[in-house]
Structure 1
């Protein structure tokens, strides 16, 4: 049955398609100009009363439900033909309400590598700081010059569980020097440190805070349960111009909204390209498959999909009280843990159970590998395209057993476990996001092509081998680890690369950092979808502003990138508005 349509029309200066991380930031900042009206269109529900958004420890309860986009990849050769669940937050605030709360910005070189004057490393680090209000702790030595003090995003350091203190000791022992605030400064490509979290006083801070709570403004209209189908395009003096959007509710009701100034698509790396494709903007051949008229032939829409591939490597711990499993899985502990959170906003559920983090360069470890040694490389860069001031991999430990929902071997019988996680940076493999159909309520076809490039597998397996050495040989952990968890795995004894290749193929998963599917680029770049001001090529008054716009994903996590893109986009839009006036 065809969707029904309402005749009423509403008009706003700016329409923002997507109430996720970047979209909420842009709306909040544009609303500071009180003569502008802003509409935020969010496909999901309001997050104000979603307990598992505000209680960081409840994050996984948002998945596999209506608060999750429930996106699953196609089978991928590089991970043994497996499909991977790529959960995304489907509510106001988006994935800022389900992520690991981690503020890992990468290095300034990551953004300088984009080659775009508006998005240098200095500017991006400034935008990320602008979003933040940092709250220190007595034990944490912060580099205050790199932290913000007036943004809606409240952050603070994480108090480590005993297992994390031991992992830190092992990281230092195995060659990763300690630099406490290194993930804020972005100046250390090889070392370990603490990571700031988007949590304050037991409450997760999300992008929705930019347009709610103390930042709610009368000139912002928030409409939830409104999936953007397409951008309405018209010819204005011969130029294709965005003039509004068409939405559909979950019960099939269509509605049009008119934009006086601009339409800003901020629906994320999976959904922003879909909106463009349904609007007739994208690869002509792809649009023809679905009977969509091609209005602008842009080959890059939906391509250049990147992510950070992740492996959890779990170990059983001999001594009790080191991990936090006893607070979650033993007997009826979770009931008292939950009561503590409700009464005092403290305890296990008040934070995210990740501990100490590390960056590592792998030049020395890989120098004799033929694939690494003989690979083509640019001057001053390694075979992965990284300079010496950029890390190849990231490590961190969990403070109890757990992760994505496939990890179900909970140590309920008074046992204890933790993981050392490995994450691959600057992978060569690229994937794609394409339409499954013209139906705006149907999820896309996603192929991340994880580990499709041999160099990616080489670096990832070396990262896992290094991680295992940290745990099994490191001074802090070597005497408290019994072996692999669950016990039918034997990775604690792995020494050969082929053993790690098999492990990675079976266990590699997403770090929930999809990026790059509507990438910015120079005017002569045939694969660029956007110019350096986030404007869609060939269309007036239409921008894409979220992590889909980044040409190359940073060597860190993408939460702060999404905030930075939002802050930078708002400044660019304000400046352009003044020029047009």
Structure 2
């Protein structure tokens, strides 16, 4: 579908700032810019409002948002290195975006992760400060939080998660296998080898989403929110050879095509999968690819859609012999879900009030991999391992589920009153890179996503060793070794006898996404040909256009990306305000000159 015909260009549809995407970063930016009541902000979101979406606010209902109009329904291309499987990479398609469907986890990574970007505007200290600014942390008596690293006045409300009995057992096993307990390690970012508690974006049984930055207590008259409106492309003016973003062309759910005008800036915040297509449809991207789809290339930016990263993970499932160690009896047994739902409706408590992940851990694998020829012979920089990580950064993350809950293909377990949990291993600092490209120039057609998972042999080596270590935690750790009855599915039987090669086979069959897509419109230094943005998130070769979401990160953090998205939003808003202040004297001078 072409947007060459425009049904409306209304002068009243003129704003200072237009935010293309009402997801995590976009809502933060809109809310912060609107703190200046003299500016007029427009948020354009392709999906519906989230106000009446119960399974957004009830964290335990997260998966019910998938496979419908509230999901972008993206599916990868088949990937040879994981047995030609395709992976569903669901993303939230409603106001608040994936902040309303994610695992609620607030895992910042380490400060070194952001220092490694090599950009003065985005150091570890600055990113941690941005993430802190977004949050209000609510303490619990049992949890030893380091309040010096937590915020107390942001719209994002979070609290620690009360562990199920199986998580206490897994925690005991992690400590037994050499991962000491540091309660707030995922907020301080100071521990690359240990276990701890993860704050969740849930408070008093209600999930906090990024939409809360522009709704509820933060609703302001100078913010306009238009839902069910898809952004096709950025509209430009050209003056003395300079390309300037001055608006966007859109299509609404009913097919109406409207242009909205921007006096100051257009900010693209569609995320790693949706921001590149907006740029490409606007004529900004790899010239050959754009011309293939009949799009005139205005600025040749080869990096648009490249550098796609994710955190690949793998679940390992275990059946336990003792009843009610896991929470399966509250969800899957008999009619338990009905009473669990009634409890949530009445008191906003129970397993539906939170996300069913338990204790988390980080691990360095240097010692475990020292016998690997591939590891020994791999290139490495001074002070770094072959994955490019410093000793202060983890190679792998672990966490357990508190009931059955994993890849959707495992739909027949548990049955017959069984009790099950999984331990998951997640790979950091992957070397493999994928891409996001256009399938067509139709704004209503999803892009082509190729994650290219585990194509680098080092990625496979580290993730498979992570799975091997995870299994040792469960099978040998004193908290779990006496309660594991068996494993599931059948090909995972006799975990304790598996070699590293066996675990590689398991990874090929079961590796999947952690929904942390990043990097497809990356920032970079002036001499980086593939950088799409400068360090202030400005698109190269264009005035008044930025991309501000996780697509902008040059390297995905060694944590989870929710807090990165909030941090990018906070940082972007500050930079936009600063740049507007710098321009103010120039504008005053121009107005005075015209008056004369």
Q: Structure 1 length normalisation: TM-score?
A: 0.99
Spell out, residue by residue over 1:175-217, the C-alpha distance to the aligned partner (whole angstroms, 9 max, x if none): 1000000000000000000000000000000000000000000
Residue matched to 2:46 = 43
Q: Matches of 1:5 and 1:46 in 2, distance apart?
A: 25
Residue matched to 1:78 = 81
Q: CA deviation at 1:493?
A: 3.2
Residue matched to 1:237 = 240
Residue matched to 2:456 = 453
SS at 1:412's partner residue? coil
Partners of 1:134 and 1:148 within 8 A in 2: yes
Residue matched to 2:148 = 145
Cα distance 1:390–1:203, how it changes in 2: closer, same or farther (>3 A)? same
Aligned match of 2:304 in 301, 305, 310?
A: 301
Partners of 1:230 and 1:279 within 8 A in 2: yes
Spell out, residue by residue over 1:433-466, the C-alpha distance to the aligned partner (whole angstroms, 9 max, x if none): 0000000000000000000000000000000000
Matched, 1:176 2:179: yes
SS at 2:504's partner residue? helix
Cα distance 1:476–1:33, how it changes in 2: closer, same or farther (>3 A)? same
Structure 2: 5+ residue stretches without partners: 585-596
SS at 2:260's partner residue? strand
Aligned match of 2:138 in 135, 138, 142?
A: 135
Partners of 1:177 and 1:190 within 8 A in 2: yes
Matched, 1:465 2:468: yes
Q: CA deviation at 1:368?
A: 1.5
Partners of 1:409 and 1:486 within 8 A in 2: no
Q: CA deviation at 1:234?
A: 1.6
What is the aligned length? 581
Partners of 1:55 and 1:350 within 8 A in 2: yes
Residue matched to 2:558 = 555
Partners of 1:13 and 1:261 within 8 A in 2: yes
Q: CA deviation at 1:485?
A: 1.8
Aligned match of 1:160 in 157, 160, 163?
A: 163
Residue matched to 2:27 = 24
Spell out, residue by residue over 1:329-349, the C-alpha distance to the aligned partner (whole angstroms, 9 max, x if none): 000000000000000000010
Q: Matches of 1:336 and 1:136 in 2, distance apart?
A: 29
Spell out, residue by residue over 1:4-49, the C-alpha distance to the aligned partner (whole angstroms, 9 max, x if none): 6322421000000000000000000000011100000000000000
SS at 1:356's partner residue? strand
Q: CA deviation at 1:236?
A: 2.2
Matched, 1:444 2:461: no
Q: Matches of 2:96 and 2:494 in 1, distance apart?
A: 38
Q: CA deviation at 1:251?
A: 3.0
Q: Matches of 2:145 and 2:366 in 1, distance apart?
A: 29
Partners of 1:402 and 1:410 within 8 A in 2: no
Spell out, residue by residue over 1:504-563, the C-alpha distance to the aligned partner (whole angstroms, 9 max, x if none): 011000000000000000011001000000000000000000000000000000000000
Partners of 2:193 and 2:362 within 8 A in 1: yes
Aligned match of 2:499 in 478, 496, 501?
A: 496
SS at 1:34's partner residue? coil
Q: Matches of 1:204 and 1:494 in 2, distance apart?
A: 41
Partners of 2:2 and 2:442 within 8 A in 1: no
Aligned match of 2:213 in 191, 206, 210?
A: 210
Q: CA deviation at 1:410?
A: 2.3
Q: Matches of 2:491 and 2:453 in 1, distance apart?
A: 26
Residue matched to 1:565 = 568
Spell out, residue by residue over 1:91-115, the C-alpha distance to the aligned partner (whole angstroms, 9 max, x if none): 0000000000000000000000000
Partners of 1:359 and 1:393 within 8 A in 2: yes
Partners of 1:67 and 1:90 within 8 A in 2: yes
Q: CA deviation at 1:404?
A: 3.2
Spell out, residue by residue over 1:478-505, the C-alpha distance to the aligned partner (whole angstroms, 9 max, x if none): 0000121234532523421221111101
Q: Matches of 1:561 and 1:313 in 2, distance apart?
A: 27
SS at 1:71's partner residue? coil
**After the TM superposition, which of the residue ranges 326-335 and 402-411 deviates more from structure 2?**
402-411
Cα distance 1:206–1:491, how it changes in 2: closer, same or farther (>3 A)? farther
Matched, 1:194 2:194: no
Residue matched to 1:6 = 7
Partners of 1:169 and 1:476 within 8 A in 2: yes
